[in-house]
Structure 1
Amino acid sequence: MKKLDKPKYDFGDVLDKCLAGILRGNENLKTTILADKDKILLDGECYETEAQQGKLYAYQEMKRFHNLTKISTQTKDHYIHLYETYFVPEAKLETRAIYDEILNSAKEDCPFCGGLGTPKNLDHFLPKTKFPQFSVFPSNLIPACLDCNLDSKKTSYASTAEEQTLHPYFDKSIFFQEQWITADYIADTNLDEPGEFQYYVSAPSNWEDIDKARVENYFEDFKLASRYAKQATSSLKSKLRSIKRELDKGVSIQEIINDVIQPDIDDAPFVNYWEVGMSDGLIRYLRGNQAI
């Protein structure tokens, strides 16, 4: 749910750099990739077009995007080998530099969970075992933290429009610019002891039903309710102390909201950041308990 700029690298150039790193004794791999290059470049064009419309789910595994012909198991193995042996290893300086630049583009904030985790590797948005032609396609490589890469539904892929995961490079601006995650604060008995936050999806009413369903599924897939709540709870004590201190001075609820809570919303790196939901919950709690 954090927007990232599409990698600047041309798919054809990345393929050429991988091929240049293939040593003698592996001519069969080089010959196969060269013979297939025009086809996967066409697939790459289709990928970017459909990703912008949230329609990558419409394609079937082990098939070409541009003409739906089947991809052989041998071709699949070649592309996975190309990624693992000629793109990722640090000894392959030119391609590893591309890998690292894409990874570092997230600035240590995983785009899938909104910065809860630090990206440690590149995730294949469409898994390379099912869509091998995109093994080294820069637009299919997303910086991801270990929790999002290993523990979420990203080990699979969408087969319906509702299941389509938000694409950090291509998806609709509404997912990144409009708020759809918020939270309620459930107090213990008063503000002296921390309560808990319950995060949930509250998509704008004017959104299409498909888009509402997509963010609901995304929220569940990446376990954001529990992960956001844990993050909010860890910073709650200091925030409650600040609020209680102002209340004891006789400061009005609205002034506390303006001076203590609203700055966290204004300074958040993006609109669906965990701290925005936390602030929403605290504001609703304070306004609903004016006599605290």
Structure 2
Amino acid sequence: MCIAGVGDVELQNRYNEILAELTQDAGAYDVHGTSASWWTIPPNNQRKDEIVVGRVSKSELKALYSNYLAGQGKPGRSIYDKLLGAAPGERCPYCGIGRVTTLDHYLPKAKFPRLSILVTNLVPACRDCNMGGKGVAVATTEGSQPIHPYYDANRFNSAQWLFCAVQATKPATVSFYAEPPAVWPGPVKERARSHLKAFDLNARFSVEAAEELSNIRQIFIDYFSGASPAERSQHLLNMEGSESRLHTNSWKRALYQALGRSQWFCDVGYL
């Protein structure tokens, strides 16, 4: 469909010549996905005008995405739009808070141009995760790879690894950190920590949490003024339970859990 949007017949022919090889790349990518071994794929450091595969240059491979998949009015644009609309609730699967506005290349097309239009390498993402996230960084170990929403969802949603710490300040402040289950293999634990770091999620979640802390404070003042610390704690833990059934590792689940377990916050820290 991307090639159908190319007006230059000579370029069309050169693209058609490499279809089989790009299809092989797609199969290899899927194999790497089952073992989280994308980091072993060598990055391409050629200049933009150098030939990468067949008679097609690096810049022409990248143009398959920018001009013929993302390009408005091109046949491939329907695939782009379908991928863009695939995220549940239009929420970015990398962070869970941003609204999807673009597609992110899990392996950046600047370093992996042969994967520029591979749908399993294209993730609907918010602007912050796409522009200010992992960027063009290339993982050099299994543990340094961010979580892939398509291949890793079952593993990383199977147990809680995102937690929150409460600081006894006035007003109360929080921070977020990764603490994967002890039974997880070392590289898997490190991937959770790498994901948090790559997308600067502690800072971004803390901004979201600040508003929620204000809401909780007001609720406690208005409706729990005569309640005991234990009753406030139970309310927060009930909120955690509801959130955990929706999202195992959401910042809200971690926040409610930490606040509900904080005797200081439930006693006087919310004031």
Q: TM-score range by the shorter chain?
A: 0.7 to 0.9
Number of residue pairs matched by the alignment: 260
Q: How far 1:120 sits from its partner (Å)?
A: 1.2
Q: Is the 8 A contact 1:47 1:56 kept in 2?
A: yes
Instruction: Give the structure 2 partner of residue 13 of structure 1.
Output: none
Q: Is the 8 A contact 2:84 2:124 kept in 1?
A: yes
1:29 aligned residue (1, 11, 14): 11
Gaps of 5+ in 1: 1-16, 64-69
Q: How far 1:134 sits from its partner (Å)?
A: 1.2
Instruction: Give the structure 1 partner of residue 234 of structure 2.
Output: 258
Instruction: Give the structure 2 partner of residue 18 of structure 1.
Output: 2
Q: Which moved more, 1:126-135 or 1:74-83?
A: 74-83
The RMSD of aligned alpha carbons is 2.3
Instruction: Give the structure 2 partner of residue 104 of structure 1.
Output: 85
Partners of 1:291 and 1:127 lie apart in 2 by 48
Corresponding residue SS for 2:166: strand
Cα 1:33–1:74, aligned 2, differ >3 Å: closer, same or farther? closer
1:155 aligned residue (131, 136, 147): 136
Q: How far 1:260 sits from its partner (Å)?
A: 4.4
Question: Is structure 2 residue 59 aligned with structure 1 residue 83?
Answer: no
Q: How far 1:44 sits from its partner (Å)?
A: 0.2
Q: How far 1:61 sits from its partner (Å)?
A: 1.7
Partners of 2:5 and 2:214 lie apart in 1 by 54
Q: Is the 8 A contact 1:184 1:284 kept in 2?
A: no
Instruction: Give the structure 1 partner of residue 101 of structure 2.
Output: 120
Question: Is structure 2 residue 149 aligned with structure 1 residue 168?
Answer: yes
| 1:87-136, Cα deviation, whole Å (9 max, x unpaired) | 112211x321211111111132111112x211211111111122111111
Cα 1:139–1:39, aligned 2, differ >3 Å: closer, same or farther? same
After TM superposition, the structure 1 = structure 2 runs for residues 59-70 of structure 1, keeping only pairs within 5 Å, are 59-62=41-44
Q: Which moved more, 1:241-250 or 1:45-54?
A: 241-250
Q: How far 1:215 sits from its partner (Å)?
A: 1.1
Q: Is the 8 A contact 1:110 1:144 kept in 2?
A: yes
**Which portions of structure 1, spanning 4 or more consecutive aligned residues, are displaced by more than 6 angstroms?**
none
Instruction: Give the structure 2 partner of residue 224 of structure 1.
Output: 201
| 1:54-111, Cα deviation, whole Å (9 max, x unpaired) | 1100010239xxxxxx64794322221222222112211x321211111111132111
Cα 1:291–1:227, aligned 2, differ >3 Å: closer, same or farther? closer
Question: Is structure 2 residue 21 aligned with structure 1 residue 42?
Answer: no
Q: Is the 8 A contact 2:229 2:267 kept in 1?
A: no
Partners of 1:74 and 1:35 lie apart in 2 by 9
Cα 1:252–1:285, aligned 2, differ >3 Å: closer, same or farther? closer
Question: Is structure 2 residue 35 aligned with structure 1 residue 58?
Answer: no
| 1:45 alignment partner AA | G
Instruction: Give the structure 1 partner of residue 48 of structure 2.
Output: none
After TM superposition, the structure 1 = structure 2 runs for residues 186-225 of structure 1, keeping only pairs within 5 Å, are 186-188=167-169, 194-225=171-202
Gaps of 5+ in 2: 46-51
Q: How far 1:157 sits from its partner (Å)?
A: 2.0
TM-score by length of 1: 0.81
Q: Is the 8 A contact 1:181 1:199 kept in 2?
A: yes
Higher RCO (C-alpha 8 Å, min separation 6)? 1
Q: Percent identity?
A: 27
Q: How far 1:252 sits from its partner (Å)?
A: 5.6
Q: Which moved more, 1:234-243 or 1:274-283?
A: 234-243
Q: How far 1:289 sits from its partner (Å)?
A: 6.8
| 2:183 alignment partner AA | N
Cα 1:123–1:250, aligned 2, differ >3 Å: closer, same or farther? closer
Partners of 1:212 and 1:196 lie apart in 2 by 26
Cα 1:251–1:91, aligned 2, differ >3 Å: closer, same or farther? same
| 2:137 alignment partner AA | S
